[in-house]
């Protein structure tokens, strides 16, 4: 009778651990979807090798968003259009500059915002229907 009791306890412990891990994963996913985003499109007239969907968007070195989509400008294929999303609470000013920076030694790139004086008007995201 004793071995059966151990099997029940082990099974119950395994089930509880699985349920706890599932609840934690759902909670973690909810915290990332609760944010409001502003969407911006940036045009780069240079190669964007190393930049891909999901790469971080930084403002003065702090991650404030991520890359949503990359595509060529249909009117000028030498220009790459990058759709990004930025936390709605981050003020992107008209005189804010966007550039590409090396994220790590593997060649991955990030979009880096810099500048933007407080007296400059705030830039409104120009994408009406984000993906």
Task: Please indicate, yes or no, if residue 20 is contained in any of the structural domains.
Answer: yes
> Do residue 41 and residue 63 come from a single domain?
yes
Task: Please indicate, yes or no, if residue 60 is contained in any of the structural domains.
Answer: yes
Res 97: pLDDT = 87
> Cβ distance 47 to 62 under 8 Å?
no
> Do residue 27 and residue 59 come from a single domain?
no
Task: Please indicate, yes or no, if residue 131 is contained in any of the structural domains.
Answer: no
Candidates 16, 54, 42, 2; CA nearest to 126 is 42
Residues of the chain above pLDDT 90, percent = 27
Candidates 50, 82, 46, 89; CA nearest to 66 is 82
Which H/E stretch holds residue 81? strand 80-87
Cα–Cα distances in Å, from 69 out to 10, 39, 61, 96? 46, 11, 21, 21
Res 128: pLDDT = 45
3-class SS of residue 17: helix
Task: Please indicate, yes or no, if residue 123 is contained in any of the structural domains.
Answer: no
Q: Which residues of the chain have pLDDT under 70?
A: 1-5, 30-34, 124-131
Instruction: Report how many domains make up the chain.
Output: 2
d(CA 131, CA 112): 22
Task: Please indicate, yes or no, if residue 93 is contained in any of the structural domains.
Answer: yes
> Do residue 21 and residue 42 come from a single domain?
no
Domain that holds residue 54: 37-115
Task: Please indicate, yes or no, if residue 26 is contained in any of the structural domains.
Answer: yes
> Do residue 47 and residue 93 come from a single domain?
yes
CATH number at residue 101: 2.40.30
Candidates 88, 97, 94; CA nearest to 59 is 97
> Do residue 8 and residue 53 come from a single domain?
no
Residues 10-36 have pLDDT tens digits of 888 898 988 898 888 887 776 656 678
d(CA 61, CA 52): 18
């Amino acid at each position: 009778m004793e071995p059966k009791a151990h099997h029940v306890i082990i099974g119950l412990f395994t089930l509880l651990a699985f349920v706890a891990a599932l609840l934690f994963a759902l909670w973690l996913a909810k915290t990332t979807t609760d944010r409001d985003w502003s969407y911006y499109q940036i045009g780069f007239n240079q190669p964007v090798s190393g930049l891909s969907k999901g790469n971080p968007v930084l403002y003065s070195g702090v991650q404030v968003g991520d890359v949503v989509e990359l595509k060529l400008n249909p009117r000028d294929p030498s220009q790459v259009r990058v759709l990004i999303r930025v936390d709605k609470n981050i003020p992107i000013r008209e005189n804010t500059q966007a550039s590409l920076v090396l994220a790590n030694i593997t060649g991955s790139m990030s979009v880096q915002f810099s500048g933007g004086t407080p007296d400059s008007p705030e830039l409104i995201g120009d994408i009406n229907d984000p993906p």
